Amino acid sequence: MRALILADDSFARREAPMLARLEVGLSGEGVRVVRAVPAECLPQIATPVSSQVVGYEAGPNWFTRRGRARRLLASVAAALDGAGAAAAADAPDLDVIHCFGHDALELAMAAARMSGAGVALEVWSGDMIGRARALAVERAGREGEPPLILFAPDLSMARELRGGIQGGEAGVLPGTPELIEVTPWGVHPVAACRPPIDPAVTVSVAVLADGQDARAVFHVIDALAELATRLPNLLVFFDGDVAARIGGGHTVWQRAKSRGLLDRLSMVGGMEGHREPILHVDLLIQPEAVGAHHSLTLDAMAAGVVVVAREDPLVDALRDEETALLVRRGGAREWAAAIEGIITDPARAQRLRDGARAFVRDHRSPSGHVAAVLRGYERLSGLRQLA
């Protein structure tokens, strides 16, 4: 089997570790893998020894999409079969184009139409559910469309994708031929033992935001500002790239300044793509409930970072008082009470650490992710044979 993993700019940068783990696992199962990312991302992407990474031209202009898809396929053919074989073929012999990210979807569909490959679409967030449903409706009744399967990172996302219909771990989107496969992302557990959180020394907090709900982010900033008056050693890290998308790029900085938090706040560019320092903080805070899945959250759980998050019915990994401490309404006072409650209760913090590690070990292994993806690829292969 030959697979192209196609990621947009945001996904290629944020989820590079997860994509690399998936490639290594697939290669170990005999799949020939090529990863394609926007050309400007190539200098930041580490290439696993078991696969190859090529660049493609990103852009929203549909007039150029076919040409960009053709050049992408030529690069993939050269990576898989060598330059000579690529020059002699119209398109590479591909089985699957596995699409990660909103901005790569149209290019993935164009490349699939040219190559005859099926498309596996990763549905990783609440807004991606809407895009997947719209795509299914657009394809209904059309001739010659490439086979499509939708990958959901957990059962809650799959159920929402099916429109609330309950069932097993795989199903069909009502009214369409689209298949749904549950493919939980996996991370490696960390064996190291972390010391208890000590407010007398330093308390470090990282805020993992998506930038879709500015009000939710501001409530967390207000809560941390209140806590800073009682915790003189509080340090806060925020993703600078996400901050630039909220309210024109200055509102996070302005909010922190107006609340007296600015001297405790550090902006980290591309925090998810440069996650190693973040895995050494005490707490990971997720302000928004937008159905977004992040492998950084799983990495934090595996590393013993306590997760405090907004309750989100589309993310199964967030289990209150088991893997994380969940905040329901999301007001500043509720956030402050939750965060301070963890900082001042070492036994509770340790229970959450232990529960999160056990969850990752039992339900979010890289090998389990690879097995689920392979199962989805095989189902997609069956659809291609029927087409």
What's residue 238's pLDDT?
A: 96
**Structure tokens that stand for 123 in this block:** 């549905």
CB half-sphere exposure, 255, CA atoms < 13 A? 22
What's residue 83's pLDDT?
A: 62
370 and 290 part of one domain: no
138 and 229 part of one domain: no
Q: What is the DSSP letter of 198?
A: B
What's residue 165's pLDDT?
A: 41
Rounded-to-integer distance, Cα 315 and Cα 359, Å: 13
| Domain presence at residue 198 | no
Amino acid sitting at position 149: I
Tally of structural domains, the chain:
2
264 and 115 part of one domain: no
The CA–CA distances, whole Å, from 365 to 3, 120, 139, 194, 299 equal 21, 20, 34, 21, 11
Rounded-to-integer distance, Cα 12 and Cα 15, Å: 6
The CA–CA distances, whole Å, from 380 to 21, 72, 98, 118, 133 equal 21, 22, 11, 6, 18
314 and 272 part of one domain: yes
Q: What is the DSSP letter of 29?
A: T
**Structure tokens that stand for 138 in this block:** 């657009």
Smallest CA-to-CA distance from 326 within 308, 344, 340 is with 308
233 and 355 part of one domain: yes
Place of tokens 């398109």: 91
| Domain presence at residue 191 | no
What's residue 87's pLDDT?
A: 52
29 and 178 part of one domain: yes
Q: How far apart are the first and last CA of the chain?
A: 18
Rounded-to-integer distance, Cα 198 and Cα 321, Å: 20
Q: Is 374 helix (H, G, I), strand (E, B) or coil?
A: helix
**Which CATH number characterizes residue 370's domain?**
3.40.50.2000
In a 10 Å sphere around its CB, with 0-12 CB exposed, 13-18 middle and 19+ buried, how is residue 24 labelled?
A: middle
Rounded-to-integer distance, Cα 76 and Cα 81, Å: 8
Residue 76 CB: number of other CB atoms within 10 A?
27
272 and 170 part of one domain: no
What's residue 249's pLDDT?
A: 60
What's residue 135's pLDDT?
A: 87
219 and 175 part of one domain: no
Check if the beta carbon of residue 298 is closer than 8 Å to that of residue 322: no
Which strand ranges, in their side-by-side order, compose the sheet holding 203-207? Answer: 265-268, 234-239, 203-207, 283-286, 306-310, 325-327
| Domain presence at residue 114 | yes
What's residue 248's pLDDT?
A: 65
How do the pLDDT tens digits run along the chain, 387 residues long?
999 999 999 999 999 999 999 999 999 999 999 999 999 998 887 666 656 899 999 987 777 889 999 999 999 999 998 865 555 456 778 999 999 999 999 999 999 999 999 999 999 999 999 888 888 878 876 788 899 999 999 999 999 988 744 444 456 676 666 789 999 999 998 877 889 999 999 999 999 999 999 999 999 999 999 999 999 999 999 999 899 888 766 689 999 999 999 999 999 989 999 899 999 999 999 999 999 999 999 999 999 999 999 999 999 999 999 999 999 999 999 999 999 999 999 999 999 999 999 999 999 999 999 999 999 999 999 888 776
Rounded-to-integer distance, Cα 218 and Cα 235, Å: 17
296 and 375 part of one domain: no
Domain that holds residue 215: 203-363
Q: In this structure, is the dihedral angle defined by the CA atoms of residues 349, 350, 356 and 357, taken in order, positive or negative?
A: positive
| Domain presence at residue 193 | no
122 and 228 part of one domain: no
In a 10 Å sphere around its CB, with 0-12 CB exposed, 13-18 middle and 19+ buried, how is residue 84 labelled?
A: exposed
Q: Which residues of 265-284 are buried (b: 16+ CB within 10 A; e: fewer)?
A: bebbeebbbebeebbebbbb
Amino acid sitting at position 12: A
Residue 36 φ/ψ region, left for φ over 0, alpha for ψ in the -120 to 50 degree band, beta for the rest: beta
31 and 153 part of one domain: yes
| Domain presence at residue 194 | no
322 and 349 part of one domain: yes
pTM over 0.75: yes
Rounded-to-integer distance, Cα 180 and Cα 169, Å: 8
